[in-house]
Structure 1
């Protein structure tokens, strides 16, 4: 049951300039580190930690751990809707601080491998496309391939009938993208998509690092298969 005290607690958490700036920076769907959020709020990392603890306590943001890093993101679409409403009432002008994340190498940012699956803008675009067509459902740190998605990916030749049956690794899981700070698809499914893209000649490895180049054939195939357009 919603109480007046509960409403006041949430309002007080949002109604502090540094916390409001950090929440606004998270409105584009990315997950950011405490240091990055401290930068956009123009405060010290130590002060940012106390503000973030307050936002976590009232349920406005959640922390996602990946390796040795801790990333912060909005707790739910409802939180984003609330902040968007506040922005509209505050003047209708949406100002989001620019936060640069990930590698400076444009090729690495565009497309790369993350272990055995696709990452970068390409990997995130594919994840978005799979969600849009109902093939994959992502909820926080969990993901699943739907029955419709499995049938479609079998028909497209991306998944083999017995794939993953002998593997102990997760079949489908979200992996927070280093540069985009939004999820791409990992696990058995992510590896299958990457393998298919390589075998079909949609992407090829660049020399010296993990960056991938989308081939002319790949531009056509990715548009036809996933409905995505990659920068040339």
Structure 2
């Protein structure tokens, strides 16, 4: 049974106004930096860092490192359920939610772009979501994998993947990559690279000169809808 002291500690951490604002901002499911959460809470970055350290220590938030950046997200579905329950009880009427603008402000970059050799932005995340929803892939915070049906799907499209037995130094077949703008995972590794190359080769997307952004062609819109059930907005 949970002790009264532990219950009171979690309640106090979640109930402080600045920390409550951060938890609510993280309910969107995106990973956010300390600076972004500071703006959401109306506090300084230093104060936000202190709050985040306390919440991480109590298991309310988790920290992910992506290059030189540190992103924060809710630590588990149980934390999200707790926050949602408090919000439902506290809400007497709908309140306007200020949406954070994160990542690149260029709409073309936010919609679709390359991340090294794989696809990112809304297109990259939509592809990852579609594969998971159809049972073709499994994505965890630190790992990702194709299922047998996923391998069959890519093979039916003419996408050849390297054999996992190609050697210990072979590139990781599939890995999650936290998206810069969507703050949700897209697929990297050999699978992500193969999907990107295929989309380019088939004319589903085309590069935009002088930018990492790519444009989805009409042919690509039809192919993405037919093969993956994606309608990109």
Give the TM-score normalised by structure 1: 0.94
Change in Cα spacing, 1:9 to 1:94, as seen in structure 2 (3 Å) is farther
- Take 1:97 and 1:10, find their aligned partners in 2: how far apart are those partners? 25
1:144 corresponding residue in structure 2:
145
The one-character-per-residue Cα deviations of 1:176-201 (angstroms, maximum 9, x if unpaired) are 11111111100011001111111111
SS at match of 2:27: helix
The one-character-per-residue Cα deviations of 1:129-172 (angstroms, maximum 9, x if unpaired) are 11111111111122121222222222232334747835622211
Could you tell me which runs of 5 or more consecutive residues in structure 2 were left unpaired when the two chains were aligned: none
Asked whether 1:179 is paired with 2:157, we answer no
- The structural deviation recorded for 1:104 is 1.4
- Take 2:164 and 2:202, find their aligned partners in 1: how far apart are those partners? 18
Q: Which stretch has the larger CA shift, 97-106 or 202-211?
A: 97-106
1:230 corresponding residue in structure 2:
232
- The structural deviation recorded for 1:4 is 2.6
Asked whether 1:39 is paired with 2:42, we answer no
2:63 corresponding residue in structure 1:
63
Change in Cα spacing, 1:170 to 1:96, as seen in structure 2 (3 Å) is farther
Q: Which stretch has the larger CA shift, 138-147 or 53-62?
A: 138-147
SS at match of 1:28: coil
> Aligned runs of 1:76-115 on 2, under 5 Å?
76-91=76-91, 93=94, 96-115=97-116
CA contact (8 A) 1:164 1:171 kept: no
- Take 1:13 and 1:90, find their aligned partners in 2: how far apart are those partners? 17
- The structural deviation recorded for 1:10 is 1.4
The one-character-per-residue Cα deviations of 1:185-222 (angstroms, maximum 9, x if unpaired) are 00011001111111111000011111101000000000
> Of the candidates 195, 204, 208, which is equivalent to residue 193 of structure 1?
195
- The structural deviation recorded for 1:9 is 1.7
CA contact (8 A) 1:30 1:181 kept: yes
> Aligned runs of 1:208-227 on 2, under 5 Å?
208-227=210-229
- Take 2:226 and 2:194, find their aligned partners in 1: how far apart are those partners? 18
- Take 2:37 and 2:5, find their aligned partners in 1: how far apart are those partners? 28
CA contact (8 A) 2:208 2:215 kept: yes
- Take 1:82 and 1:159, find their aligned partners in 2: how far apart are those partners? 44
> Aligned runs of 1:21-32 on 2, under 5 Å?
21-32=21-32
RMSD: 1.7
- Take 1:21 and 1:43, find their aligned partners in 2: how far apart are those partners? 10
- Take 2:179 and 2:188, find their aligned partners in 1: how far apart are those partners? 10
- Take 1:129 and 1:2, find their aligned partners in 2: how far apart are those partners? 39
Could you tell me which runs of 5 or more consecutive residues in structure 1 were left unpaired when the two chains were aligned: none
Give the TM-score normalised by structure 2: 0.93
